[in-house]
Amino acid sequence: MTSEVDSESGRRNLPPLSLHIPEPHYRPGDVADFSNIAIPAAGVTPRPDSAAAAATMRDMVYGLVRVLDDDGKAVEPWDPRLTPERLRAMLRAMALTRAFDERMFRAQRQGKTSFYMKSTGEEAVAVAATFALDREDMCFPSYRQQGILIARDWSLVDMMNQIYSNKADRLKGRQLPIMYSTREGAFFSISGNLATQYPQAVGWAMASAAKGDTKIAATWCGEGSTAEGDFHSACMFATVYRAPVILNVVNNQWAISSFAGFAGGDETTFAARAVGYGMAGLRVDGNDPLAVYAATAWAAERARTNHGPTLIEHFTYRAEGHSTSDDPSQYRSADEGAHWPLGDPIARLKTHLIGLGEWSDDRHATQDLELAELVKASAKEAEKNGILGHGMHQPFETMFEDVFEEMPWHLKEQSAQMAAERTRKWPDKKSGDPV
């Protein structure tokens, strides 16, 4: 009896429990300092065989795949040895993505659309990865991978029509601007709900394997989205069924206003999530286009040869705000981007090409002007179809379409009722007129 009392008394003398709240390293007004980040030299991280067992690659999730060194030279063993033509095409696609972002950002500020999200500083994550995939491989992106469509030479006018939600919008104004979707472009519908694309990508990849097809899937999410249940269920299914899928985590250090620590980034790397599921994992310099290309090509080969999925963490930095609705100066240091140690992906590939004697500052400046004019002309063409504030541009009947392959009776009945009500209120409007 005495021992029980003593035991209870001892528990009462313990210090109270406390809850750990992650804190960013610097806040507005602080001088940013990334010296806490260990950046291994290019060429240090080994390149295993793409068929190697996941258990033999655990150290890969703590390193950093890098190809371009500080002087812009490509270093083995991950150097993909791309031709100068391929490198220039990749540089152009990244520069075009940035020019597109700049124009659409201004369009939002001019009231031509309600919302936009830039990918400044992260262009390599989408563009270089897309160059390493086959054209028919299915992409399940998040909302900052517009570079996928641009790398596949998709129509800028078509993308802008969706942003403006105008009469030529293939999604008929039903999606938030920047949430593109095109079956022909092998680009799955973007969702505002985080990480839903992960189980969708895994399911699509499983179906491709079940049919004996040769196409693989690739999906992207931000580091904050790894806290979502969809992320973890997707990892489980991908591992168990060895789905031919590439799971990309874009660690750009920030969610909309919270730093990566709130998603567990202070405890370990995001690539380390792969270890717990028994899948291959890579941690990649996301601002090195050659490293992103090489890692994606490696993961694609692994998937195509039935060796299962790969989780790739792209270690990068979100140079701009989360969206046009965000003011990052309210939660992070104003000069933080200038101190980011891995530089700018476009500048790094430009330097590499110049070092090869395959590019120059003058050619780059000329290309920037050419791309700016291309984007400007595309915007003018898209704006002919309408912009925000000019009223709805889709025919009235379309609000009931595209929900089912064949419209069921109850929707037909509702459509007829709405048409009758519309005729009663506005007898001068014709069927098929925009709302």
The answer to whether position 39 is within a domain reads no
Q: How far are the Cα atoms of 26, 336, 338, 340 from residue 36, in angstroms, in the given order? A: 12, 14, 16, 12
The answer on pLDDT for 5 being more than 80 is no
Which tens digit of pLDDT belongs to each residue from 161-203?
Answer: 999 999 999 999 899 999 999 999 999 999 999 999 999 999 9
- The answer to whether the beta carbons of residues 195 and 230 sit under 8 Å apart is yes
Is the predicted pLDDT of residue 2 greater than 60, yes or no?
Answer: no
| 348 in any annotated domain | yes
In a domain, 184, yes or no: yes
Mean pLDDT of all residues in 109-116? 96
Same domain, 239 and 287: yes
Residue 408 and residue 377 in one domain: no
Task: Say whether both 366 and 401 belong to one domain.
Answer: no
The domain tally of the chain equals 2
Q: CA neighbours within 13 Å on the CB side: how many for 394?
A: 17
Domain carrying residue 418? 396-425
Q: Are residues 231 and 111 in the same domain?
A: yes
405 shares a domain with 274: no
- Tell me the per-residue pLDDT of 84-95, one tens digit each, with 9 for 90 and over: 999 999 999 999
Question: Do the domain assignments include residue 240?
Answer: yes
Owner of token pair 């394997």: 209
**Same-domain pairing of 236 and 199:** yes
Does residue 30 fall inside a structural domain?
no
Q: Is residue 300 part of a domain?
A: yes
| Any domain includes 5 | no
This prediction's pTM: 0.93
With bands split at pLDDT 50, 70 and 90, how would you rate the model's confidence at 256? confident
> Is residue 250 located within the same domain as residue 156?
yes
Are both 378 and 403 inside the same structural domain?
A: no
- Count CB atoms within 10 A of the CB of residue 278: 14
| Amino acid residing at 269 | T
The CATH number that applies at residue 113 is: 3.40.50.970
Q: Is the pLDDT of residue 62 over 70?
A: yes
Residues 134-168: tens digit of each pLDDT: 999 999 999 999 999 999 999 999 999 999 999 99
C-beta separation of 195 from 219 below 8 A: no
Q: Do 280 and 183 share a structural domain?
A: yes
**pLDDT confidence of 313, banded at 50, 70, 90?**
very high
Q: Residues 261, 401: one domain?
A: no
pLDDT in tens, 386-420: 998 786 678 877 888 888 999 999 999 999 998 89
141 inside domain: yes
- Cis-peptide into 177, omega within 30 deg: no
For residues 310 and 410, membership in a common domain is answered with no
Are 265 and 414 contained in the same domain? no
